[in-house]
C-alpha cells in the first residue's frame, strides 16, 4: 500500500475513533467466513462497526489520538476493531452471545468510556447493564417516592370521603 493510502487509512480510522464510545479488540482469524458475516450483521444491527486494519496503522491512529503505548498489547496478530458510537456495553453483549455460538472468537481487550480493559475483564463488561437499562432503572427509582406520595394522598382522600359519608349517614339516621 503506498504511503498516501496508509495516511488516508490512519486519518479515516482516527475520525471513527474520535467518535467512538467503545472499541473492542478481537481475534477472528480462526472464524469461518460465514460466521464472520453473521458477526458483522449482528453487530451492524446494534449500530456497531467492524474494521480490520493493519496493526501498525491502527496503533498510529491510537497514538495520534493520545492513547498510551499499552494499547499496543491488543494490536498483536490478526485484530478486528469493533467500534461503537452508541452504548459501549451493547457490543460486549453481542460478542459474548456470539462467542458462545462460535467459540473461535477471541477477545483481546477493550477501550470503553476512556478506560482500557484487558481480556480477563471482558465478561465483567458484558454483564454490565446497557445505557437504556440504566436509564429505565433510574426512572423507576426516581418515580417510587412520587408514587408513594400519590398513594398516601389518595389514601387520605379516600379516608376523608369515607369519614364524611359515615357522618352524613349518622345525621340522616338522627333526623329520622
CB 92 within 8 A of CB 110: yes
Please check whether residues 15 and 25 belong to one and the same domain. yes
Please report, rounded to a whole number, the percentage of residues in the chain having pLDDT higher than 70: 98
Q: Are residues 89 and 147 in the same domain?
A: no
Q: What is the pLDDT of residue 130?
A: 78
The count of structural domains within the chain is 2
For residue 11, what pLDDT band results from cuts at 50, 70 and 90? very high
SS3 for 149?
Answer: helix
* pLDDT (average), residues 166-173: 83
Q: Which residue would you say has higher pLDDT here, 18 or 130?
A: 18
Question: What is the CA 66 to chain-centroid distance, rounded?
Answer: 23
Residues 76 and 119 in one domain: yes
pLDDT greater than 90 at residue 69:
no
61 and 107 within one domain? yes
User: Are 121 and 142 found together in one domain?
Assistant: no
Phi, psi (5° rounding) for residue 106?
-120, 120
Q: Which residue among 107, 128, 149 closes a domain?
A: 128
Residue 17 scores a pLDDT above 70: yes
Answer for the pair 79, 52: CB distance below 8 angstroms, yes or no.
Answer: yes
The percent of residues above 90 in pLDDT, for the chain, comes to: 13
Q: What is the pLDDT of residue 25?
A: 93
pLDDT bin (cut points 50, 70, 90) of residue 34 is: confident
- 111 and 85 within one domain: yes
**Local confidence band at 151 (pLDDT 50, 70, 90 cut-offs):** confident
- The whole domain housing 96 covers 3-128
C-alpha 84/C-alpha 131 separation (Å) is 13
Judge if 59 and 137 occupy the same domain: no
Helices 3-18 + 55-64 axis angle, to 10: 50
Which residues have C-beta within 8 Å of that of residue 26, sequence separation ≥ 6?
79, 80, 82, 95, 105, 106, 107, 108
Average pLDDT, the chain: 85
pLDDT in tens, 109-133: 999 888 889 989 888 888 878 778 8
- Its sign, for the CA torsion 113, 90, 109, 23, is negative
**pLDDT value for 68:** 82
CATH number of the CATH domain containing 26: 3.30.70.1730
Same domain, 48 and 96: yes
Phi first, then psi: give them for residue 28, nearest 5 degrees. -115, 20
Amino acid at each position: 500500500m503506498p504511503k498516501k493510502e496508509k495516511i488516508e487509512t490512519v486519518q479515516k480510522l482516527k475520525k471513527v475513533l474520535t467518535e467512538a464510545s467503545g472499541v473492542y479488540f478481537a481475534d477472528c482469524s480462526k472464524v469461518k467466513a460465514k460466521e464472520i458475516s453473521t458477526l458483522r450483521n449482528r453487530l451492524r444491527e446494534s449500530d456497531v462497526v467492524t474494521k480490520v486494519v493493519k496493526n501498525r496503522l491502527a496503533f498510529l491512529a491510537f497514538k495520534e489520538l493520545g492513547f498510551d503505548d499499552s494499547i499496543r498489547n491488543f494490536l498483536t496478530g490478526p485484530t478486528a476493531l469493533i467500534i461503537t458510537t452508541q452504548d459501549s456495553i451493547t457490543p460486549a453483549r453481542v460478542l459474548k452471545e456470539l462467542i458462545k455460538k462460535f467459540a473461535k472468537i477471541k477477545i483481546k481487550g477493550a477501550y470503553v468510556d476512556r478506560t482500557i480493559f484487558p481480556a480477563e475483564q471482558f465478561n465483567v463488561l458484558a454483564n454490565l447493564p446497557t445505557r437504556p437499562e440504566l436509564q429505565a432503572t433510574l426512572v423507576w427509582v426516581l418515580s417510587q417516592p412520587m408514587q408513594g406520595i400519590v398513594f398516601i394522598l389518595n389514601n387520605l382522600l379516600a379516608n376523608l370521603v369515607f369519614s364524611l359519608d359515615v357522618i352524613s349517614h349518622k345525621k340522616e339516621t338522627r333526623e329520622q
